[in-house]
A and B are shown apart, each in its own frame.
Chain A
Amino acid sequence: MRFLPHTGSDRQAMLDSIGVSGMHDLFADIPSEFHVEKGSLKLADALSEAGIVRKFTRAAEKNHNASNSRYFLGGGTYHHFVPAAVDYVISRGEFLTAYTPYQPEISQGTLQALFEFQTMIARLTGMDVSNASMYEAATATAEAALMARRVTRKSRVLMAGSVNPRYRAVTANYLSRLDGEYAEVDMGAFGTDLDKVIAAMDEQTACVIVQYPDFYGSVYDLAPLHAACDANRCLMVVAFSDISAFALIESPGAMGADIAVGSGQSLGIPMGFGGPHLGLFTCKQKYVRQMPGRVCGMTSDANGKRGFVLTLSTREQHIRREKATSNICSNQGLMCTAAATYMTLMGDAGLATVARHSAAALQSLVSQLPAHVSAAAGAHYNETVLSFAGYAARERFLLATRNHDMFAGIPLEQIEAGVDTRHLLVATTEMIEEADITDFLAALEVSL
């Protein structure tokens, strides 16, 4: 049976009601040359299914993507290897749901996977507790700002200018509907001077948000900032983009973060044109009741057997109503399971290998740069900013790399409005081999 919601006379009644004579009038704003009249398209005859597959396979083979080229793009999404077993595990019928299960009696497997996910994320970030995920890093950052306001009962939020512009924009948007000041600290071009952030802090500041490694890949000691935060009774929120970093460098928790939020996409989740991502949210134990989102807990049933349940639900909307810690009442269950599977497969040693290779590739690239291209100063993990003599030099290089199956970097102005058009944000992962770096460096010759 066809689904016919409106009859011809229904439509006519609606058209009469808004005072137009026919459907055609509804499209009057679109220039007539863009109107397609029925039967005016000169389409070829229909193809067979096999013919269509052949045609589109040929067309798709012309696409350049991360898997058939050398890929140096980061900026919040990273091209790490995803073992085939991850997809196999999350595709199983027992796990294949995007929803967090409410009924522990039928969902022990999923709940246990989420609990293990939380445990592993807490260990990797060095934090006490993790929730069972947010959607992505930008909204997780905004939620961290809201949580810091609840914990401190203060309203001012201070954001370092070296945080990913998208995390900043989403946080600013969330806070724009609330009382209280939101301020960003201008760090200068790829600046890492945290004293600027410390100077902007005051007694009204609920939290300071920094990214580590920052948007430009810089790594620096957060201890002085942490001390200043404590002196102002203000929380230190640490955002991150590529969590693989913490298998190698000091974790946010070890640096004294009160809340650490970021992306878990690096943990076995394909880039997928930007989604679905996985947002991570962790904090100190003493703040757990102000944390947003789902939390899985381990308990025992009436017979004393171990079991897993959703816990601390009294923070959440369906119980606490308008006083809930957050509007978020769902999570990325399937992506959590993917991340848990990935971390389990890799283990401590595997993650450390990924991190070492990712960092070593950047180190190798930067150490061999010709004199006419400079890299941002200071320590970096797997991402940095390369600066060219000018826009034209950078574009010559980008064209040369495109012709050699290489995505060499993100023109910084595409993500960060207003910066010079001669910078390139370049990221490396374990997918970059020494030969790729050699080719990258060779292509730089055209930018002289």
Chain B
Amino acid sequence: MTIPADLKYTKEHEWVRIEGDTATFGISDHAQEALGDIVFVELPEIGRTVDAGEAYAVVESVKAVSDVYAPVAGEIIEVNNALEGESELVNTDPYGAGWIAKVKIGEGSAELLSDHEYNTFLEE
């Protein structure tokens, strides 16, 4: 299981990559492994404003359906349309091709963990 050092994480097992005023969201390697084969990702609408901690997407696996929460607040500016046909990208490349959405960062953030902190959190 990988936990890249250049990302931040939440206790809900999302990751966020912050670049300038843009943030990219996805779910962690641990999350995809726990969920099993992802069969559908319900993507948010472009232009929608989400609060930190608000459910912005839904990930459906063969085992369960889970809400995905926004690590930071913002306006959705891009979604990963590739997931509509290939939701398994979330399983095969959770930190790369399996990203879910990009936001223009707004006010507010969930508690963000470093890779070390997230690793410790997982071990607890």
Chain A hits for B60, CB < 8 A: 314
Residue B67 at the chain A interface, CB threshold 8 Å = yes
- A204→B65 CA distance, assembly (Å): 29
> Once bound together, how far apart are the Cα atoms of A314 and B48, in whole Å?
24
A320 proximal to B (CB < 8 A): yes
Contact flags B63-84 to A (C-beta < 8 A → 1, else 0): 0110100000000000000000
- The answer to the question of B51 belonging to the interface, with a C-beta cut-off of 8 Å to chain A, is no
Contact mask A317-346 → B, CB, 8 Å, 1/0? 001100100000000000000000000000
Show 5 A/B contacts (Cβ-Cβ < 8 Å), sorted by A.
A153-B48, A289-B40, A289-B42, A319-B64, A323-B67
Q: Name the B residues within 8 Å of A289 (CB-CB).
A: 40, 42
Output the least CB separation between A53 and chain B (Å): 57
| Distance in angstroms between the alpha carbons of A314 and B63 in the assembled complex | 10
Number of A-B residue pairs at CB separation under 8 A:
10
Alpha-carbon separation in the docked complex, A323 to B58 (Å): 11
What's the minimum C-beta distance from A360 to chain B, rounded to whole angstroms? Answer: 47
Smallest Cβ distance from B33 to chain A, in angstroms?
19
Residue ID in chain B nearest A313 by CB atoms: B65
Closest beta carbon of chain A to B39's beta carbon, Å: 9
Q: Mark contacts of B39-54 with chain A using CB atoms, 8 A cut-off: 1 yes-contact digit, 0 otherwise.
A: 0101000001000000
Could you say which of B40, B48, B65, B67 contacts A319, with CB atoms under 8 Å apart?
B65
Tell me, in angstroms, the Cα distance from A323 to B48 when the chains sit together.
20
Closest A residue to B39 by CB, please name it. A314
B46 to nearest A CB, angstroms?
Answer: 12
Cβ of B67: which chain A residues have Cβ within 8 Å of it?
A: 323
Collect the chain B residues with CB atoms within 8 Å of residue A320's CB.
65
Which residues of A sit under 8 angstroms from B64, Cβ to Cβ? 319
Chain A residue nearest to B45 (CB atoms) is A153
CA distance A133 to B64 in the complex (A): 25
What residue of chain B has the Cβ atom nearest to residue A152's Cβ?
A: B45
Contacts of B42 in A (CB 8 A): 289
| A293-322 vs B, Cβ < 8 Å mask (1 yes, 0 no) | 000000000000000000000100001100
Which positions 4-49 of chain B face chain A at CB distance < 8 Å?
40, 42, 48
Nearest chain-B residue to A320 (Cβ)? B65
8 Å CB contacts to B: which residues of A136-164? 153
A289 to B40, CA, bound (A): 10
Q: Which 9 pairs across A and B sit closest by C-beta, in order of nearness?
A: A314-B65, A314-B60, A320-B65, A289-B42, A319-B65, A323-B67, A289-B40, A153-B48, A323-B65
CB distance from B66 to the nearest CB of A (A): 10
CA distance A153 to B49 in the complex (A): 12
Interchain nearest-CB distance for A129 vs B (Å): 15
**Minimum Cβ distance to chain A for residue B112 (Å):** 25
- Nearest CB on B from A107, distance (A): 21
Q: Please give, as numbers and ranges, the residues of chain B lying within 8 Å of A319 by CB-CB distance.
A: 64-65
Report Cα–Cα, A319/B60, bound state, in Å. 11
Quote the shortest CB–CB distance from A93 to chain B (angstroms). 34
B65 surroundings in chain A (CB, below 8 A): 314, 319-320, 323
How far is it, in angstroms, between the C-alpha of A323 and the C-alpha of B66 when the chains are bound? 10
Q: A153-B48, A320-B65 are in contact. List 8 more A-B contacts (CB 8 A).
A: A289-B40, A289-B42, A314-B60, A314-B65, A319-B64, A319-B65, A323-B65, A323-B67
